[in-house]
Structure 1
Amino acid sequence: MKTSDVVDKKAFITEKLKKFKLVDIREQYVDLIEEAKTDKLDYEDFLIKLLIAEDEGKEQRRTAKLIAKANFDTIASLSEIDYSFNRSLDKSKIDELGSLRFIEAKENVIIIGPPGVGKSMIATGIGRNACKAGYKVMFVNAKELVDQLHISMIEGRLQETLKELKKIELLIIDELSYIKMDKEKESLFFQIIRQRYEKGSLIITTNLPMGRWDELFTGQLAATAILDRVLHHCHVISITGDSYRVKGSKKSVKL
């Protein structure tokens, strides 16, 4: 087909861009043509501008999709942390974790501290960074995770559930504090820890010091077996201080 054969050029362009699934070029090409005329771009520079528009759009949609699937409780980011409120927060350490090198190294993170000091906010901020970098992330409450695994086991879907969890590159287990597992649920939780050992990263938030993790499981032996695997390649953040919620800091978000 010759260019001269196209009667309605705009309709033709729109149809073809839709067919090729070039969403952002389709939405922006008219404005980009006008900009190219104004800036007197040559053909090569104009093509580059079109490709940049499409690439940026696809990346934004991919990030939005990953964030939606991660199921975060809040939209908190690391930039929202008020370090002046809580002096126990180590900014350099949190920034390092925010760089995501621990995910590349298949390492874990444990964030320990009393309620309201920002554990979930830090975990969420790191998780959102991971989504922006293209990693698959899941944010889940510890009790809900164990309950979901138990239901899957009863329904005969445990292996399928474990297979799906294995695809998650960063699993964030929030509030590993308010549950007491029996032998069956403890075994299910251990399967997650064992499955991810040196193969995928974990972030665990808890208000229990590691010396008290036997309170979560059936005893010290089980707690030690789990901690041995989690701590082998692990970064630990210990937070003290007042609760953001109780203090009512204007700069804080709901944690």
Structure 2
Amino acid sequence: MDAFSSFFGSQSSTRNRWGYDSLKSFGQISPIVQAHLKQVYLSLCCALIASAAGAYLHLLWNIGGLLTTFACMGSMIWLLSTPHHQEQQKRVALLMATALFEGASVGPLIDLAIEIDPSILVSAFVGTAVAFGCFSLAAMLARRREYLYLGGLLSSGLSILLWLHFASAIFGGSAAIFKFELYFGLLVFVGFTVVDTQDIIEKAHRGDLDYVNHALLLFTDFVAVFVRILTIMLKNSVDKSEKKKKRRD
């Protein structure tokens, strides 16, 4: 009995210590890195606002498509090829341009969600923000480099998704493959949120304080998760409406 009581007592004390102390403690993150993370997430918020503006421009003028996708890729390559120790204002402007074109490219999907049910769009964004925030916080509270080993597995998963998408484009895809790509892709990019957050922290500890590139990395993760959550919710909504029609008929 003493052994059991001491065991459960130690477990409860560990849980309490984790719940109250670790959630407000960033002892493993130095003040310089904490200041860097504030810059990263502030830049990420600005990029999301720019992306929302791009989606709104698509709703007004129907500009989203292949052209904005190429413009997004071009501005992203331009940003990554610009040295981070100079022309910082230019790099921030390129980040905002990348986000703007990305939002316009996602605009057709957002337009479809508004036509079907506007509440789906709000739910998808809130769900993405909550998931992104929770997994980012988990990565910050975990021990340094604890989840970096997942990077190889996630890269393999990403390559599987690319090959599946390539094969579907050539040979044609089925509904099962499309569903697998959605859910497996969501799992992969949620994992990238954790790995990329820890990678940013580790790079900052080594002196890499390029908050623009780091914000771009998290922005691509956020958009990838948002698109998949929104697509899953739209598909479920359409399936429910079709089932209701069949029942009525």
TM-score normalised over the length of structure 1: 0.22
TM-score normalised over the length of structure 2: 0.23
* Greater C-alpha Rg: 1
